Amino acid sequence: MFAFLQRLIPKHFLSRVVGSVAKSELPLIKGLFINIFCMLYRIDLSEAQREKASDYRSFNDFFTRSLKPGRRTIQGTVSSPADGTVAALGNIDGDTLIQSKNHSYSLAKLLASNNIDDFSAGSFITIYLAPHNYHRVHAPWTGELHHATYVPGDLFSVNQSTALHLPDLFARNERLVCRFQTDTGPTAAVLVGAMLVAAIKPAWLDEAYKPRLQITTEMKRVFHQGDELGQFEMGSTVILVFKERMAFSVKEGEQVKYGQSIVS
């Protein structure tokens, strides 16, 4: 029922309105939003660089808050790109990934490319960022980012209830596809937008992408494991795609932290 109702909601309009309010620096508006949010989600600001809610310029500034140096330790050869929950993981079967126990979806659609041969016998992991989570996304490996494609799309919620009932959820939503070359082969990190996500802002741009045309940027930028890759201006999902069959050290439903090793 919730997935059906989302089809009727003007999701882009609502998300952009929320985004505009979230950027307001008026003390009354930002203070109200931050205080209500902290109360509803029991936000712990002790690990943030700015521990007082009043120190943030806007709700969006608060939502994309950075951590104190040293609050996370980068572990293993592949680490979690974000704080969140493992929503799904497993092997890729040709062009098919698992969304939930009810649905699978197309890798080509997710990556917005027919160039998927590198991953046809690989694996994937999906990490869901809840509203209370830290919302910056970091490179889970060291590698050269050679293509970044912003794909405009829908803004359905990406929570587990929607994933269970809405086919092709991640391949339909607005997203940023980052394709890397690493020492162990090609990989991809996909930042998926969601309802009330005002925007996806990559580390190499001063502003977030505008929800208009699909844009592919070719680059040769090296990211070291743990470097900031981008941030969600509200909550969402990150999907990692690998060429190899990975032996994951985490399981579905497990809470993970940015920097935590996720492969054996």
One domain, residues 93 and 151? yes
One domain, residues 104 and 217? yes
One domain, residues 230 and 142? yes
Question: pLDDT per residue over 145-158, tens digit each?
Answer: 999 999 988 867 76
To the query of whether residue 117 is one of the catalytic residues in this protein, the response is no
Q: Specify the DSSP class assigned to residue 12.
A: H
One domain, residues 147 and 228? yes
Listed in order, strand segments (DSSP E) in 122-213 are 123-128, 136-138, 143-151, 175-182, 185-192, 200-202
Task: Give a yes or no: residue 102 inside a domain.
Answer: yes
Average pLDDT of the chain to the nearest whole number: 88
Which domain, by its residues, includes 10?
A: 2-63
One domain, residues 45 and 119? no
Q: Hey, what are 158's tokens?
A: 């990406």
Mean pLDDT for 130-134 is 89
One domain, residues 175 and 228? yes
> Per the residue annotation, which of 79, 83, 154, 157 is the catalytic one?
83
To the query of whether residue 83 is one of the catalytic residues in this protein, the response is yes
Q: What share of the chain in percent tops pLDDT 70?
A: 89
**How many domains, in total, are found in the chain?**
2
One domain, residues 92 and 214? yes
To the query of whether residue 236 is one of the catalytic residues in this protein, the response is yes
One domain, residues 143 and 246? yes
One domain, residues 44 and 93? no
> Per the residue annotation, which of 138, 154, 157, 261 is the catalytic one?
138
Closest CA to 157 of 128, 199, 120, 118: 128
Count of positions (residues) in the chain: 264
Prediction pTM value: 0.90
One domain, residues 237 and 142? yes
Question: Using 50, 70 and 90 to split pLDDT, how confident is the model at 234?
Answer: low
Question: Using 50, 70 and 90 to split pLDDT, how confident is the model at 1?
Answer: very low
Please state, in angstroms and rounded to a whole number, the distance separating the CA atoms of residues 48 and 55.
11
